């Protein structure tokens, strides 16, 4: 941790790993050490007018940085637990995270930290701190600025000059600085002339007035294939679908179907779905299209989803829908309540 003590106007920065903290080695980029000193140095190289307005922060670094492409539901649980145990001592929290699964972690944190009364802002970088033209320090500075804004009372992602709701974000590009998009929801804020400007009408704080109601279940039991993500493709067969859904270890699945909620009119496919539903598995569907909602039943080809008991994910992203399934299946709920909660907007995800 940094030497700075906690203060109600400072920010807790949690470093989990990712490209931001990597350094060049003879074998390519690899996790680098002394993140505290390196981050402070990178921030000091930003324009003085921006640096002068940044809040104090305290750094907590994971002992073993996570490659975000290898992150698991257990990592989501650990991160939420760390935030829940410490957030009261700070104006807000910033999480430094690898970009590959940053949107997944943000969505999961939103479900676990429901009702959070201050900002939790995730960010990362497409290039390491020391790389020429790196976006790392700029993204961290933006996250720090938003993390002390009391009007922001939810989990969000600050990246490329924009602030996106954690349950609405998707990684959109493998290299560009504007790597994240919000396909079906307006931005929560942007950088304007060096200032971090929130768009208050788009935030959760204006839609609720309640106390934190954190839900911190143990996700580890679902980490061994407990929830699957299955994208349909032309020619998919009942045999292939049943290979996933008939597995006794599977508790739920997210289906990515075509258009507004269509799938092949194959009785054998529908029988597999219905059997999984009857076995108590939580099944939901979203569209493979990044924009727009799923409305099963608008076409005859989508009637089977409803008949098989598959829940509509509306406009949810794959990240928000799958992490919601994990979250609900980890809670001690009966099937009716799980289904009700999936169809309910918990943290602005639908």
Out of 19, 99, 101, 315, which one is annotated catalytic?
19
Residue 193 CA to residue 195 CA, distance in Å, equals 6
Residues 142, 143, 147, 149: is their CA dihedral positive or negative?
positive
Q: Are 17 and 65 in contact (CB under 8 A)?
A: yes
Cβ burial, residue 195 (10 Å; 0-12/13-18/19+):
exposed
* CA–CA distance, 249 with 223 (Å, rounded to integer): 10
Closest CA to 127 of 27, 28, 19, 33: 19
Instruction: Tell me the two tokens of residue 128.
Output: 């390491």
DSSP string, 180-237: EE-TTS--SEEEETTEEEE-GGGSGGGS------------GGGTTTTEEEEE--TT--
Joined together, the tokens standing for residue 140 give 């961290």
* φ/ψ of residue 84, rounded to 5: -60, -35
* Separation CA 255–CA 191 (nearest Å): 36
Residue 192 main-chain phi, psi, to 5 deg: -130, 115
Residue 315 annotated among the catalytic residues of the structure: no
CA nearest to 312, candidates 323, 297, 300, 301: 297
What is the DSSP-derived secondary structure letter of residue 54? Answer: P
Task: Check residue 48 and give left, alpha or beta (phi > 0: left; psi -120 to 50: alpha).
Answer: alpha
* Strand segments (E) across 97-171: 120-123, 155-159, 162-165, 170-171
Under 8 Å CB-to-CB from 326, ≥6 apart: which residues? 73, 76, 108, 219, 222, 226, 227, 252
**Residues annotated catalytic, as ranges:** 19
């Amino acid at each position: 941790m940094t030497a700075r003590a906690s203060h109600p106007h400072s920010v807790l920065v949690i470093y989990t790993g990712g490209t931001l903290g990597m350094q060049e080695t003879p074998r390519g980029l690899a996790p680098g050490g002394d993140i505290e000193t390196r981050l402070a140095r990178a921030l000091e190289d930003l324009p003085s007018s921006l640096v002068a307005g940044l809040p104090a922060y305290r750094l907590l670094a994971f002992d073993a940085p996570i490659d975000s492409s290898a992150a698991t539901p257990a990592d989501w649980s650990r991160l939420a637990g760390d935030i829940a145990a410490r957030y009261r001592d700070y104006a807000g929290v910033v999480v430094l995270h690898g970009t590959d699964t940053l949107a997944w972690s943000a969505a999961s944190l939103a479900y676990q930290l429901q009702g959070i009364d201050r900002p939790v802002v995730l960010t990362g970088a497409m290039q390491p701190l020391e790389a020429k033209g790196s976006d790392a320090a700029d993204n961290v500075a933006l996250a720090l600025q938003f993390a002390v804004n009391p009007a922001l009372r939810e989990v969000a992602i600050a990246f490329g000059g924009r602030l996106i709701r954690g349950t609405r974000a998707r990684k959109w590009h493998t290299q560009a600085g504007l790597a994240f998009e919000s396909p079906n929801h307006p931005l929560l804020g942007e950088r304007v002339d060096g200032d971090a400007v929130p768009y208050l009408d788009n935030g959760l704080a204006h839609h609720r007035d309640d106390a934190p109601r954190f839900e911190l279940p143990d996700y580890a039991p679902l980490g061994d294939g407990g929830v699957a993500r299955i994208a349909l493709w032309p020619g998919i067969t009942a045999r292939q679908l049943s290979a996933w859904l008939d597995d006794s270890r599977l508790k739920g699945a997210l289906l990515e179907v075509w258009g507004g909620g269509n799938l092949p009119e194959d009785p054998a496919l529908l029988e597999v779905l219905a059997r999984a539903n009857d076995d108590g598995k939580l099944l939901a569907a979203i569209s493979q299209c990044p924009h727009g909602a799923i409305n099963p039943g608008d076409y005859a080809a989508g009637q089977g989803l409803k008949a098989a008991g598959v829940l509509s994910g509306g406009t949810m992203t794959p990240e928000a829908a799958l992490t919601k399934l994990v979250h609900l299946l980890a809670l001690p709920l009966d099937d009716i309540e799980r289904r009700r909660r999936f169809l309910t907007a918990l943290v602005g995800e639908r």
